[in-house]
Structure formats: C-alpha cells, structure tokens
Amino acid sequence: MPSLPDDIARALGYPYARPAGSFLFSGGRAEDLPPDTNFDGRIAVLACGSNGAPTQLRRKYGTSEEHRIPVTAARLQGICCSYSAHFSGYGSVAAALHTAPGSITHVHITWLNERELTRMHETEAIGQNYRFVRMEGVDLTCAKHGAIETIHAYVSLRGSLLMDGLPVTLGGINCQNACYPVMDQITIQSRLRDSLAPGMDLHGFIRQNITDAKIRAERTARLARQAQVFDHPGITTLLDQAS
C-alpha cells in the first residue's frame, strides 16, 4: 500500500498512537516515567484528543531536553472523547468531551508547568475552537495518583459533532461500554465529505480544509449547526480568549 502524502497522513492519523500506560515526554520522545518523578507545581490537564500522543507533543514542544513532561494514564468514567464540530487547521476532525453514561475512557493526563501550559494554550486555538476550563466532580482515576476530582481541560466551543442525531466516539482512544457510535478518522472524514462535498476525492477534501481557511470555516459552520455543547455542572472557564 503506497504511503500517504505527509499532510494527508497527519490529518488522517489523528489522534495518533500513544503508549497505553504512563510515560515521560522528554527530548521529543516517550520514555519510562521515573518512579521518583516530581509533580510539584505542575498543572494536570486532560488529554482528550491528540495531546496524549508523543508525536503531537513533539510538534508542540520540539526535541529540547528542557521539556520533561510527565504524562500519566487515567480512566475517565461517564465522559467520552468525541469528535468536535470543527476541522482543525491541519485537516483533522479534532476532539471534544461529551457526557457518556456508563462509559470508561482510557485517557492521559499531561502535567504541565506554567511555561509548558502557556505553550499548550498557544496551540489550542483558544477563543476560536476551544476554551480552557477547570472541571470539578469528575470521576477520574490516575494510574499514578489515584482518584482525581479536579482536572483542567480544553472544551470545544461548538461542542460535539452530531451524526444521525448522536455524538460520535473518537476512534483511537479506548472507550469501554461506548454508548455512541465509534468511528476512526478516515471514516468520519469520508462521511463528512459525502455530506459536505459529495463526489469529491477524499484527499482533495482534506487538503481543501488545510489550505483554504474560508472553505474550512464554511464547512465548520455547517457542522456547528448540528452540534451539542458539553455540559458538566463543575465547569469553570479559566480562559476563553487568546492572550
């Protein structure tokens, strides 16, 4: 099977491979998390999409050894990773959070210092696609720290894409007892291409979303007409505009 062009591979690879367990992101790669890792002064941020993947962290933080980011495995109950009602600038249909009774989602938590958090904000299209929040009263169990009731997260401004009236669970992140349909990136892209640009070559559709901001915005607006915003009683918005 021929390899995909780099831009298409990036779009369709979302949310990208990641270790099943905890790891240390250092020097642009995943390493074993040292048992004596110091978490003091670090902010716990839920990685509900690609931010738990070393490949994506390398795009954001490079290969410098100065960034040594602990990334811990966790189980999130009652909330799933869904598809957000927007196309990212690199062509993927990105992630959102959605209430999912009975579901157990195997996620990761990035533990960021202030400088690393600032950099993460710069990459999350705050005010355009996401807002940064604190969530209290979540049912989250961290492999390293046990039960965590308060976590930070990026929440989609438009909410979850609805397909046939239901959110779609993000394929590539393990979700037990998923209560919504599960689709991988190529399937969701193909379904959206059929809806938004029927008959168009899939790679051409994706490339348009990457290269043409106007078309991307128009298609995103159409998705947003059929979307459901994540609702959780313990949410406090901390940042909803780019600084």
According to the model, what pLDDT value does residue 162 have? 98
Question: What mean pLDDT comes out for the span 136-150?
Answer: 97
According to the model, what pLDDT value does residue 69 have? 99
Question: What pTM was estimated for this model as a whole?
Answer: 0.96
Condensed to tens digits (0 to 9), the pLDDT of residues 160-184 reads: 999 999 999 999 999 999 999 999 9
According to the model, what pLDDT value does residue 242 have? 84
pLDDT band at 2 (very low <50, low <70, confident <90, very high): confident
pLDDT above 70 (res 192): yes
Q: Would 138 be classed as within a structural domain? A: yes
pLDDT band at 88 (very low <50, low <70, confident <90, very high): very high
pLDDT above 90 (res 241): yes
Segments forming the whole domain that contains residue 208 = 6-239
**How much of the chain exceeds pLDDT 90, in percent?**
98
According to the model, what pLDDT value does residue 232 have? 94
According to the model, what pLDDT value does residue 243 have? 75
CATH number for the domain harbouring residue 156: 3.10.490.10
Question: What mean pLDDT comes out for the span 62-73?
Answer: 96
Residues contacting residue 229 through CB under 8 Å, at least 6 positions apart: 156, 157, 158, 159, 160
Condensed to tens digits (0 to 9), the pLDDT of residues 26-61 reads: 999 999 999 999 999 999 999 999 999 999 999 999
Condensed to tens digits (0 to 9), the pLDDT of residues 90-102 reads: 999 999 999 999 9
Number of structural domains found in the chain = 1
pLDDT band at 21 (very low <50, low <70, confident <90, very high): very high
Q: Would 200 be classed as within a structural domain? A: yes
Question: What mean pLDDT comes out for the span 13-17?
Answer: 98
**How much of the chain exceeds pLDDT 70, in percent?**
100
Q: Do you know the residue count of the chain?
A: 243
User: In whole angstroms, what separates CA 80 from the centre of its chain?
Assistant: 11
Q: Would 1 be classed as within a structural domain? A: no
According to the model, what pLDDT value does residue 106 have? 98
